Structure 1
Amino acid sequence: MATHFKYIILGGGVAAGYAAKEFFNSGIKSGELAIISKESVAPYERPALSKAYLFPEGAPRLPGFHTCVGSGGERLVPEWYAENGIELILNTEIVKADLTRKTLESSVGRIFEFDILIIATGATFIKLTDFGVEGANAKGIYYLREIDDADTLFEGVRDKVGGKAVVVGGGYIGLELAASLIINKLDVTIVYPEPWCMPRLFTAEIADFYERYYQNKGIKIIKGTVAAGFESDASGHVNLVKLKDGRELSADIVVVGVGARPLINLFKGQVDEERGGIKVDSYFRTSVPAVYAVGDVATFPLPLYNDKRRVEHVDHARKSAIQAVQHIKASEEGESIAEYYYLPYFYSRSFDLSWQFYGDNVGDLVVFGQRDPLVPKAKFGAYWIKDGRVMGAFLESGTPEENKAIAKVAKLRPEVESREALAASGLDFATNV
């Protein structure tokens, strides 16, 4: 016999928690809403896992970072869902979805029926085994996406203090975890194929600061090559990383962060797709009536740039979930809401560094400020200029007020007189817009 809910949120990540809170704010009856998640815990702020979970002292643990504390909101502990008539169906993997019949089926054959579905399945890490890398199934090779992954990695780090760690990948996960690993007194080497770190966002000038900063902290960086294979000891635990350029690195721990892919296989052939995600409109409606998709899986209109994009970031996960629920509730009342007008936003924190980026990193780069990593609290930033307008803005070590100022610049896209004048004015330009 099927279990019926008026609303089902499929997925238990950031978007699910924010959607549940918005349903509560909008008014739902007890028993109308369920969250179905394969994880064992209530929705939580996933960025905590790479930014601070591995700290040797004072590391965050649940229930401290359940949603919605990441945006300054209420912390929704498991009891909150029960008290408000929202059913948390955890440890439940959905293996089949029939969007026409409005049913979901779990791995143990349990059937769930819905009137309205929000797909919030997020993304999962790409494994080296996906590329057939020799020895990539060895023990001691870790990936990070969910809290169980973080717990396993934490235990691995604790057991190998003083050992050698190799981080494969120079993006968010790689840089943030490398910082945590060296704080845990491991000997850390980062390996990535690109000419500089964070290549999808950073330019060579920006990346140079962070690479030198990391090297000054004792982290070794190897660029322009990839992990081509691994060797293990008699117990099956990794002890050597073979690089494509022929070098070999001793390793007690390997952490891999080479990208993610959206979890949309359940819906293949049932919804329209675009640019690797589920195609949605400005209200996050899919091509199937009464089915929405939010967060990492959604390819949505970005009117600021007359474009469509899929964004893997916590800020978009939160805001897209809220937009979808507001549209659902407004539609039930015969009302309308504004279209989704999103300003791309990314940030990271490691060591005593903290940067924020807003907008689009297209056009010519203008850098300002102090870019010497040996200078305490060095502050610098950058603007991207295209057709005489600011398209994006970046700032390291900004105050809350300064970060708001560069966000405003990226949103308004003001005209600039010249690159030279913009570089000279730096933050003054942002705070005066």
Structure 2
Amino acid sequence: MAEKSFKYVILGGGVSAGYAAREFAKQGVRPGELAIISKEAVAPYERPALSKGYLFPEGAARLPGFYACVGSGGEKQLPEWYKEKGIDLILSTEIVKADIASKTLVSAAGDIFKYQTLIIATGSTVIRLSDFGVQGADSKNVLYLREIDDADKLVEAIKAKKGGKAVVVGGGYIGLELSAALRINDFDVSMVFPEPWCMPRLFTPEIAAFYEAYYTDKGVEIIKGTVAVGFTAHPNGEVKEVQLKDGRSLEADIVIVGVGGRPMTTLFKGQVEEDKGGIKTDGFFRTNIPDVYAVGDVATFPLKMYGDMRRVEHVDHSRKSAEQAVKAIKAAEKGGSVEQYDYLPYFYSRSFDLSWQFYGDNVGNSVLFGDSNPKDPKPKFGAYWINEGKVVGAFLEGGSPEENKAIANVASSRPEVESLDALMKQGLSFATTKM
């Protein structure tokens, strides 16, 4: 059993790890001081590429094309980059035990890693139907998407079942993006979800109606208000049918399940303070334990502009929280400090010829504006959310970079609104004139 010691250890090899490594390099980390320990076999990469570009039938995204930190316009950090910076990239290594008191991590192979400062960047794991004992959920070609290995399995299945039938279980990010990808690959696609409309955590019924109509026009069958309760398989073990709670059965050559994620905090249960399903941190991503930080999906942090604690699962926050933690660590070493994290929530998605962005908070009354006719060649529409007389959130489909920047500015500055009717008439110009 090998034992290695480092000044800094980043546990997890996802987006946060790549951006934290870049910030450490900017701050002048010395060779041998920093290690990234990841159970994945590849260097940190931009995870959104898996659901957006990886599954395209032509011109598909592949490594090294989307290594971190290319997703935010930065340098592509190839495995060689880490070597050049003196950063130990410890891949294909699963940590099975963490002892915060002794500052020790133990791998499945029995290797021991000591650290002085730990950044927990373990991210989320997908919720699997087999976790709930759903019959037949372990059939072949019942697939999930979280890591590059999952994406490779999905690509193989798409090639093997070309032109077949696919069932997507879930109507959120993964459901919408993968349904589009499968249609582009000439699959007969059904999307099943229990809620009354798609993306219910963000979309209003009016926004959802546009996307559901658009997807229907593209040939995606949308089945709402029911769930998958079982699967039957062919003699070779491959999935054959999906049984729904409402009694229907759907033929399926491929099933993709996207019903949410779960933050990976198990290693630290009882050792660090938790809140709202994540590891509780302050505005510098420090936990209640000295020299232990948590970033990205696993962190529940103070959202300064709203005055409450939240956990945010999105690549933008994964990048920025990682940078913030490293800046805070390095500043503290010099006896200084940095500004507290002041994050504007941001979400986006691309599918078919569509592209939307959302900034802020979707609470209060909503006002829809613009052209939301799904049959128009280039629809452009949006929505504002108004709470206590102020705009707190803004959504835009089909916006230009300047227009997206304008809605971000409005969500951040939270201007007052006199009349919802006037706001609806002003539409996008309400945001663009405030730039």
TM-score using structure 2 length: 0.99
State the partner residue of 2:69.
68
The residue that corresponds to 2:209 in the other structure is 208
What is the distance in 2 between the residues matched to 1:352 and 1:313? 22
Instruction: Give the aligned residue type for 1:195.
Output: P
How far apart in 2 are the matches of 1:346 and 1:406? 12
Q: Which residue of 1 aligns with 2:79?
A: 78
Show CA shifts across 1:325-360 (max 9, x none).
Answer: 000000111111100000000000001100000000
SS of 2:394's equivalent in the other structure is: strand
1:87-166 mapped onto 2 (5 Å cutoff):
87-166=88-167
> For residues 113 and 248 of structure 1, what CA distance do their matches in structure 2 show?
52
Question: Offset of 1:2 from its aligned partner?
Answer: 2.1
Distance 1:334 1:162 in 2: 62
Q: CA deviation at 1:6?
A: 0.3
Matches within 5 A, 1:257-272: 257-272=258-273
Matched, 1:255 2:218: no
User: Residue 238 of structure 2 aligns with which residue?
Assistant: 237
Deviation string 1:228-278 (CA, Å, 9 cap, x unpaired) is 100001101100000000001000000000000000000000000000000
**Runs (5+) with no aligned partner, structure 2:** none
What residue is the counterpart of 2:53 in the other structure? Answer: 52
Paired letter, 1:114: Y
Q: Secondary structure at the match of 1:67?
A: coil
CA–CA separation in structure 1 for the residues paired with 2:388 and 2:173: 30
> Identity, % of aligned pairs?
69
Query: Which residue number in structure 2 is paired with residue 350 of structure 1?
Result: 351
* Matched ranges for 1:167-186 at <5 A: 167-186=168-187
Report the residue type matching 2:156 in the other structure. E
What residue identity is the alignment partner of 2:424?
A
**What residue is the counterpart of 1:197 in the other structure?**
198
Name the count of aligned residue pairs.
433
- Confirm whether residue 324 of structure 1 aligns to residue 329 of structure 2: no
The answer to whether the aligner puts 1:393 opposite 2:394 as a matched pair is yes
- The equivalent residue for 1:370 is 371
Q: CA deviation at 1:176?
A: 0.2
Find the residue that maps to 1:305 and give its secondary structure.
coil
| Secondary structure class of the residue paired with 2:35 | strand
- How big is the shift at 1:15? 0.1
Q: Secondary structure at the match of 1:393?
A: strand
SS in 1 for 2:62: coil
Which runs of no fewer than 5 residues in structure 1 stay unpaired? none
One-letter identity of the residue aligned with 2:286: R
Q: What SS does the aligned partner of 1:304 have?
A: coil
Counterpart Cα distance in 1 of 2:88 and 2:64:
18
Partner SS state of residue 113, structure 1: strand
The aligned amino acid for 1:370 is D
Q: Which residue of 2 aligns with 1:339?
A: 340
Distance 1:119 1:249 in 2: 41
- Cα distance between partner residues in 2 of 1:162 and 1:335: 60
Is 174-183 or 1-10 further displaced after alignment? 1-10
Quote how far apart the aligned CAs of 1:179 are: 0.4
TM-score of the superposed pair, with normalisation by structure 1: 1.00
Runs of 4+ in structure 1 off by over 2 angstroms are none
* Amino acid of the structure 1 residue aligned with 2:164: G
